Amino acid sequence: MKELVLAELIEQKIFLIRDQKVMLDSDLAKLYGVTTKRLNEQIKRNKKRFPEDFAFKLTNEEDIVLKSQIATSSSPKGRGGRRTLPYVFTEHGIAMLSSVLNSDRAIAVNIQIS
pLDDT in tens, the chain (114 residues): 556 556 787 888 999 999 999 999 999 999 888 999 999 999 999 999 999 999 999 999 999 888 887 765 454 444 346 788 999 999 999 889 888 887 788 777 777 766
Task: Give me the pLDDT at residue 77, please.
Answer: 45
Q: Where are the domains of the chain?
A: 2-62+85-113
Task: Give me the pLDDT at residue 3, please.
Answer: 63
Give exposure, 48-73, as e/b (b: 16+ Cβ within 10 Å). eebeeebbbebeeebbeebeeeeeee
Task: Give me the pLDDT at residue 89, please.
Answer: 96
